Amino acid sequence: MNSQPSPPAGAALALAGLNKSFGPAQIIRDLSLTVAAGERVAIIGPNGAGKSTLFDLISGRSAPSSGQIWLAGQRIDGKKPFEINRLGLARSFQISQLFPTLSVFDNLRCAMLWRQGLGYNFWRSLASLTDTNTRTQNLMQQLQLESVAHLPAQQLSYAQQRALELGLTLASDAPVLLLDEPTAGMSRSETSQFMALIDTLTRGKTLLMVEHDMSVVFGLATKIAVLVQGQLLAFDSPEAVRNNPLVQQAYLGAVLSTAESAVALTPTLSQMGRGGEQSLRDVTSKA
């Protein structure tokens, strides 16, 4: 790991001069970002912008080519995912990572056991772990999954599987959470319910999420980071990002030259749902 200056004081997560290349292809380009404790940051950008790669770098699934990543003041770039998790960062994935044949309760209890350092303890009865079982039951109720507690995860509805995935992330009690497209594939009503669940269960935590549904982005985020071709184009409040001409240009592929066009675009950005980048291009092409 490179030796570089310390991160900003009080930052929950800080990226400094981050780069990632795969052969000749540079995916992340000199990206620096500081997230304060308790902030909710949505990471948006066109397909191929580097959003998933950025999450892989932060969570340790891939090592940066250069640059630094700091978690609560400690360097984590180059560390393994389980080491980063133990330092206080948990991640959910776009595709659910569950134990399909285990029940909902047992999925959550496994995550609880790992957090408590009991993952490989074969000599204690699970029934004797009163505190673990109580915590698991409480989390399951918060996730609104108590009615399917004994069902195998593979028999859950898609929305229930996503809720369980969120529960596995929360079970680590990590103060920093990465959510990768948490509402992908959900209906509008499921998205609304799941957004309320995220809002409630992540209060007080630092949240980074990759999300394409702009209703979720503007409904949950206190700041938005816009990535284009691996570079940070903007990092500001939702309102400032919505009105940023560089962001509008990146999504539309052309600069909006008139105030009338900008006014027309503003509600579109806030209302667009899944596939919203293409929707913006369609709206503009018809204007």
Residue ranges with strand state E in the chain: 11-22, 25-36, 40-44, 66-71, 74-75, 89-92, 176-180, 206-210, 223-228, 231-236
Residues 84 and 1 in one domain: yes
pLDDT at 116: 59
Query: What average pLDDT does range 10-24 have in this prediction?
Result: 95
pLDDT band at 95 (very low <50, low <70, confident <90, very high): low
Residues 66 and 109 in one domain: no
Are the beta carbons of 201 and 177 closer than 8 angstroms? no
Considering the chain, what is the average pLDDT of its residues? 84
Classify 2 in phi/psi space as left (phi over 0), alpha (psi -120 to 50) or beta.
beta
Residues 28 and 70 in one domain: yes
pLDDT band at 89 (very low <50, low <70, confident <90, very high): very high
Residues 75 and 1 in one domain: yes
Classify 171 in phi/psi space as left (phi over 0), alpha (psi -120 to 50) or beta.
alpha
Residues 3 and 79 in one domain: yes
Q: Give percent of the chain with pLDDT exceeding 90.
A: 65
Give a yes or no: residue 249 inside a domain.
Answer: no
Residues 117 and 199 in one domain: no
Closest CA to 108 of 124, 144, 89, 132: 132
Residues 5 and 72 in one domain: yes
- For 268, the token pair is 């579109």
Residue 254 has pLDDT above 80, yes or no: no
Q: State the total domains in the chain.
A: 2
pLDDT band at 47 (very low <50, low <70, confident <90, very high): confident
One-letter amino acid for residue 240 of the chain: A
Residue 39 has pLDDT above 80, yes or no: yes
Residues 197 and 152 in one domain: no
pLDDT at 188: 93
- For 184, the token pair is 């992908």
Give a yes or no: residue 184 inside a domain.
Answer: yes
Residue 266 has pLDDT above 70, yes or no: no
Give the separation between CA 237 and CA 203, rounded to whole angstroms. 18
Residue 4 has pLDDT above 90, yes or no: no
Give a yes or no: residue 279 inside a domain.
Answer: no
Phi, psi angles (nearest 5°) of residue 240: -65, -40
| Pairing assessment for the beta strands 11-22 and 25-36 based on DSSP bridges | antiparallel
pLDDT band at 161 (very low <50, low <70, confident <90, very high): very high
> What does each C-alpha distance from 211 to 77, 233, 273 come to in angstroms?
24, 16, 10
Residue 111 has pLDDT above 80, yes or no: yes
Give a yes or no: residue 282 inside a domain.
Answer: no
Residues 110 and 204 in one domain: no
Three-state secondary structure call for residue 281 = helix
Query: What average pLDDT does range 27-42 have in this prediction?
Result: 97
Residue found under tokens 């675009």: 265
Give a yes or no: residue 274 inside a domain.
Answer: no
Contacts of 81 (CB under 8 A, 6+ apart): 59, 60, 61, 91
Contacts of 250 (CB under 8 A, 6+ apart): 45, 46, 226, 228, 233
Give a yes or no: residue 160 inside a domain.
Answer: yes
Q: Where does a domain end: 134, 154, 173?
A: 173
Residue 267 has pLDDT above 90, yes or no: no
Q: Where does a domain end: 238, 263, 281?
A: 238
One-letter amino acid for residue 285 of the chain: S
Query: What average pLDDT does range 34-46 have in this prediction?
Result: 95
Contacts 24+ apart (CB under 8 A), 128-134: 133/109
| CATH label of the domain that carries residue 68 | 3.40.50.300
pTM value? 0.81
Residues 104 and 61 in one domain: no
Give a yes or no: residue 139 inside a domain.
Answer: yes
Residues 165 and 183 in one domain: no
Q: Where does a domain end: 156, 173, 190?
A: 173
Express each pLDDT in 57-87 by its tens digit.
Answer: 999 999 999 999 999 999 999 899 999 999 9
Are the beta carbons of 225 and 235 closer than 8 angstroms? yes
Residues 71 and 31 in one domain: yes
Give the separation between CA 133 and CA 187, rounded to whole angstroms. 32
Enclosing domain of residue 3: 1-88+174-238
Give a yes or no: residue 216 inside a domain.
Answer: yes
